[in-house]
Structures are given as C-alpha cells and as structure tokens.
Amino acid sequence: MRLAFVKLSLGTSPARYLDTVAVEVFIFDDTRLDELMYARLGTLANQVAGLPVGWTPPQNPDGTIDRAALEAEVIARVQASIVCPEDIDYAPDGAPVKNRWDHTLKSQVPPAPAAMAGWGAVPVEYVALGSDPDG
C-alpha cells in the first residue's frame, strides 16, 4: 500500500486522528482526491483484501520483489474491477447523495473495505494526533 500511496503522490505518512469513539484512524487530507481517485483506492483495497493466503509478490531471480511486475499486476487488477465515477449513480433515490466520496467507495464491486471511508473534509469532531503512523 505504501508503494501505491507514493505512486499516487500521497506520501506514506497519513495524519493520525482519534474518531468519535476514541479509535485511532489514519487520514490523507488531500484536496487532489477526486471521485476517480477514491474509486482507484477502493478497488486497490479490495484487491489487497482479496489476495489469497500465502500470496507472494513477483520476485526477481535474486529474491527481491520485482516492482515493475508487481505494479503491472496491480494496475491490471484495478483496471479489471474498477467502477468509474461516470458509471456510478450519485442520486440512487432521486436525490443527490450527501457524500460523493464515500458513495464512490461503497459503489465498488465488492464495496471498499468497511475500514475505508471518504469525506469532503476531516470530520470536525475528530481529534488530530500528528502525522507519524509509527509513533
């Protein structure tokens, strides 16, 4: 996932917050994230969550990860299963959805993992903790 975030120019250190029930969550607060990026991230998360037990990334003859082959595999998996924003009904009940970002995640097939959520801005009731996810 870190490689994907670097490729998407999101960096590797999301901001840390406490949510409304004091659970620590990690958030990329980035205005460059549009509905298509949410669709890509949701599909990528689906693909990672669906990897079979024991899956290993492609390797070079010396045993290191073949990053080019891994990137090609990830791109192929995402392209094969993504539901693009132009194919999503943003007014399923006749009225526009209130949260297009989260609706995009939930419109992926299967829906993005429940641990993922999207908003137009960080919820005001969340408490900022910092940006180092390891400390």
pLDDT (0 to 100) of residue 3: 57
DSSP alpha helices (H): ranges in 1-135?
A: 2-7, 35-49, 67-81, 100-106
Low-confidence ranges of the chain (pLDDT < 50): 135
d(CA 27, CA 21): 16
Residue 59 lies in a domain: no
Residue 112 lies in a domain: yes
**What's 107's DSSP letter?**
T
Dump pLDDT digits (tens) for 32-43: 778 888 898 888
Residue 61 lies in a domain: no
What pTM was computed for the model?
Answer: 0.73
Question: Which helix (H) or strand (E) covers residue 17, if one does?
Answer: strand 15-18
Domain count, the chain: 1
pLDDT (0 to 100) of residue 46: 87
- Domain interval for residue 17: 2-53+66-130
Residue 135 lies in a domain: no
pLDDT (0 to 100) of residue 25: 87
* Residue 84: partners with Cβ closer than 8 Å, 6 or more residues away: 36, 39
Contact 121, 15 (CB under 8 A): no
pLDDT (0 to 100) of residue 114: 81
